[in-house]
Amino acid sequence: MNSELYACVHAAEFPAQALLRLRTDLHTQPVAVLDGPALQEIVCSLNRHAVRRGAALGMTKLEAEGLSRLQLLPRSFEVETAAHAVLLECAAKFSPRIEEASDGTGCALVLDITGTELLFGPPEKLAGRLRDEMATAGFRVSIATSANFHMAQIKAAATRGITIIPAGEEARALEKLPIASLALTEEQKGTFASWGIRTLGELAALPEVELVKRLGAAASDWRALAQGVARHTFQPIEPEFALKEFYDFETPVEQLDSLLFIGARMIDCLVARAVGRALSLASLSVDMALEGGRVHHLAVHPAVPSVDRKFLLKLLQLEMGAHPPVAAVVSLTFTAEAGQSTKMQLGLFAPQTPEPSRLDVTLARLKAIVGEDRVGTPALEDTHRPGSFRMEGFVVDAKPATSKAESPRMALRRVRPPHPIRVSLHALKPVCFRDGDSRFEITAVYGPWRTSGCWWSQDGWNTEEWDALAASRNGEMFGCLLVLDKLLNEWRLEAFYD
């Protein structure tokens, strides 16, 4: 017995399947795909509902428009490239050795499934699981398994459903297939037709020597293919894993609801692909190609990697609402960054952290209300500017916080915004100040500490800081930070010492 075993996955009418994969609303509608230069477009692919309506390959656009309720879509090679990557990922779940065997408008992948019985069972069981996996991703495929590479490829392209060919019965399985199943030119097909050769079984029965004399050395390869004994050197490809989805609209779209309808399906596909590799979506980038050639970019960054479809769609909806595109959208590109889901073990007395999905939605809504630069985690900047900080994205840290016993230290509590005050000086030092109607005597003062910077720009600073110990009228003592802004010539109460 031959130890080799192959499974061919063939997706017929791939241009149409690639476009309909994300358009669930058109799955039950007759659809034809147009290709070619303007005014010379012809039907290059169509679904089975379009065939029932009378559509056919090679039909002109004018002829196709004459058919009732036939949806006409322009061909998109970008959509086909993205769909091909998804098809390849689904196949890679069953075998790491895959060879490209596509021809024409059909997309075909041949998997080397030798020795996979312990993982997926016999060939018929593997083929069933493979077909279900492709159906989940949005593809209708035919599958054929055989010990011969070319046998599996030809049978999958010529039949529908699942075909299991036992070893030694290759010729019998091919004998009724038409001669057009081979990659022949029109002239070669006409030659066989004039001889009365219409099936592969009739071709396999011809004498090899006489066949080569009349048609050349290539005729020996055709005969070997018809008999199911042609040999092949397997050439596996190495696909690159990338979570990316693309959709090209036939007409520009302005409504956000329409964009979210397609975006929901694209998110579903990205999540399904990530889950297949035990991954989550750590971030989601959306590039919208607009009319006029501009690109509108959006980014969604969950606090923790997630595979919750509704949660990611809600974040995208809030992000689109806060930053809507300024023109009609021509195409959508979703790119996700994969991450690992983390499980956080809380201590018995540790404070309860918020649920990540609710936290992200709350943060997104706050950003839409007060602005993105006002929500997040404050981070100190590397500068001498007093109190300078920036807002960074809030991230839940899965690592438990560890604290060491330290001696008590004085804390500085900033006043936001600083209070303008009136200061009395003696010998160039503050001796008292007024905050509104209240008067405070300064019993001790230290300073000044002078800082300045960015004198060449409008946001420069030139300040003097004084640490003061002040007393109110009732004798209450407190420490505070007084600042003199020399550029504005004003005093401010900026902080208290605790």
Contact between 490 and 420 under an 8 Å Cβ cutoff? The reply is yes
Query: Where are the domains positioned within the chain?
Result: 6-168, 242-342+353-398, 412-497
Q: Which residues, at least 6 apart from 348, have a Cβ–Cβ distance to it below 8 Å? A: none
Q: What is the pLDDT of residues 248-261, one digit of tens each?
A: 888 899 999 999 99
Contact between 158 and 199 under an 8 Å Cβ cutoff? The reply is no
CA distances from 445 to 101, 369, 420, 431, 468 (A): 84, 43, 19, 8, 4
Contact between 470 and 440 under an 8 Å Cβ cutoff? The reply is yes
Which tokens hold the place of 32? 């034809």
3-state SS, residue 353: coil
The rounded distance, in Å, linking the Cα atoms of 396 and 414 is 25
**1: confidence class by pLDDT, cuts 50, 70, 90:** very low
The rounded distance, in Å, linking the Cα atoms of 68 and 70 is 6
Please determine, for residue 202, whether its predicted confidence score (pLDDT) is greater than 50: yes
Alpha helices in 208-306 (DSSP H): 208-215, 218-227, 256-275
- DSSP notation for 40-101: --EEEEE-HHHHHTT--TT-BHHHHHTSTT-EEEE--HHHHHHHHHHHHHHHHTT-S-EEE-
Q: What is the pLDDT of residues 410-445, one digit of tens each?
A: 788 989 889 999 999 999 999 999 998 899 999 999
% of residues, the chain, pLDDT over 90: 58
The whole-number pLDDT of residue 103 equals 85
Highest mean pLDDT among 253-257, 404-408, 456-460: 253-257
Burial of 432: CB neighbours in 10 Å, binned 0-12, 13-18, 19+: middle
First-residue to last-residue Cα distance in the chain: 85
Please determine, for residue 407, whether its predicted confidence score (pLDDT) is greater than 80: no
pLDDT: which is higher, 375 or 55: 55
Task: Supply the CATH classification number for the domain 242-342+353-398.
Answer: 3.30.1490.100
**388: confidence class by pLDDT, cuts 50, 70, 90:** confident
The rounded distance, in Å, linking the Cα atoms of 156 and 145 is 8
Residue 452's nearest CA partner among 393, 396, 384 is 384
The whole-number pLDDT of residue 342 equals 61
The whole-number pLDDT of residue 313 equals 92
Query: Is the peptide bond preceding residue 351 cis, with omega within 30 degrees of 0?
Result: no
Neighbours of 19 (CB within 10 A): 25
Q: What average pLDDT does this structure show over 229-253?
A: 88
443-446 contacts at long range (C-beta below 8 A, 24 or more positions apart): 443/469, 443/470, 443/471, 443/477, 444/468, 444/469, 445/469
Contact between 152 and 110 under an 8 Å Cβ cutoff? The reply is yes
DSSP β-bridge partners for residue 466: 482
Strand order in the sheet with 98-100: 98-100, 107-112, 6-11, 142-146, 162-164
Which tokens hold the place of 260? 């979210």
Q: For the chain, how many residues are written?
A: 498
| Beta strands at 142-146 and 6-11: parallel, antiparallel or unpaired | antiparallel
The rounded distance, in Å, linking the Cα atoms of 124 and 129 is 9
pLDDT: which is higher, 77 or 399: 77
pLDDT: which is higher, 402 or 138: 138
Which tokens hold the place of 263? 């975006």
Mean pLDDT, the chain, rounded, equals: 88
The whole-number pLDDT of residue 183 equals 85
Cα dihedral 63→68→69→72 (10° resolution): 0
Which tokens hold the place of 439? 């008067």
Q: What is the pLDDT of residues 8-67, one digit of tens each?
A: 999 999 999 999 988 888 888 999 999 999 889 999 999 999 999 999 999 999 999 999
The whole-number pLDDT of residue 483 equals 95
Q: What is the pLDDT of residues 282-335, one digit of tens each?
A: 999 999 999 989 999 999 888 788 888 998 999 999 889 888 999 999 999 999
Please determine, for residue 345, whether its predicted confidence score (pLDDT) is greater than 70: no
The whole-number pLDDT of residue 385 equals 82
Contact between 209 and 223 under an 8 Å Cβ cutoff? The reply is no
Residue 447's nearest CA partner among 483, 488, 420, 417 is 483
Task: Supply the CATH classification number for the domain 6-168.
Answer: 3.40.1170.60
Q: Which residues, at least 6 apart from 208, have a Cβ–Cβ distance to it below 8 Å? A: 220, 223
The whole-number pLDDT of residue 365 equals 82
3-state SS, residue 361: helix
The whole-number pLDDT of residue 389 equals 84
The 8-class DSSP code of residue 481 comes to: E
